[in-house]
Amino acid sequence: MDAYRKEVVKDRERIYLSLDYRLAPIKVAVLPLLKNRPEIVEIAEKICNDLKGNYRVVYDDTAAIGKLYRRQDEIGTPFCVTVDVESLTDGKVTIRERDTMAQERIEMAQLKTVLTEKLNLSKK
């Protein structure tokens, strides 16, 4: 219960589970922004498969991105990786942090390194 949080963001209630990253059952969620774009889905699935060797990872494309973020927040997933249309041209993805909702664009090639650093250094 100590990790259960509620806040209001843009006039909507946000509920999230602020678990220590080491305790979170799922470490990373990979989310394609548009599930009807095969090239975006392909990149997202590849990222998910690449990360599975290092962390417990889920792939989800069953709702709009806002709902996907909220769903992951509620179960305590520390980071979401979003693949969008720009990813096709710039080779970058967005990492979103659960507690602060801060987003950062990084090179796909650096994803494992950045996530490892964030998950290992972010001990609360």
CATH code, 25 = 3.40.50.800
- pTM comes to 0.90
In a domain, 39, yes or no: yes
pLDDT surpassing 70 at residue 8 = yes
In a domain, 124, yes or no: no
What's the pLDDT score for residue 124?
Answer: 47
Measure the CA angle with vertex 3, ends 57 and 59; round to 5°: 15
Q: What is the largest CA-CA distance in the chain?
A: 43
Cα–Cα distance for residue pair 27/35, rounded to 1 Å? 22
What's the pLDDT score for residue 54?
Answer: 86
Any idea which of 2-6, 21-25, 42-46, 58-62 has the lowest mean pLDDT?
Answer: 2-6
What's the pLDDT score for residue 76?
Answer: 95
Counting every residue written for the chain, the total comes to 124
In a domain, 75, yes or no: yes
In a domain, 102, yes or no: yes
Give the neighbor-by-neighbor strand order of the sheet with 79-83: 57-59, 28-32, 79-83, 92-97, 103-107
Contact, 100 vs 86, CB < 8 A?
Answer: no
What percent of the chain has a predicted confidence (pLDDT) above 70? 96
Instruction: For residue 114, give its domain range.
Output: 4-119
* pLDDT, tens only, 75-106: 999 999 999 999 999 999 999 999 999 999 99
In a domain, 25, yes or no: yes
pLDDT surpassing 90 at residue 58 = yes
The structural domain count of the chain equals 1
In a domain, 84, yes or no: yes
Mean pLDDT across 51-70 = 93
In a domain, 92, yes or no: yes
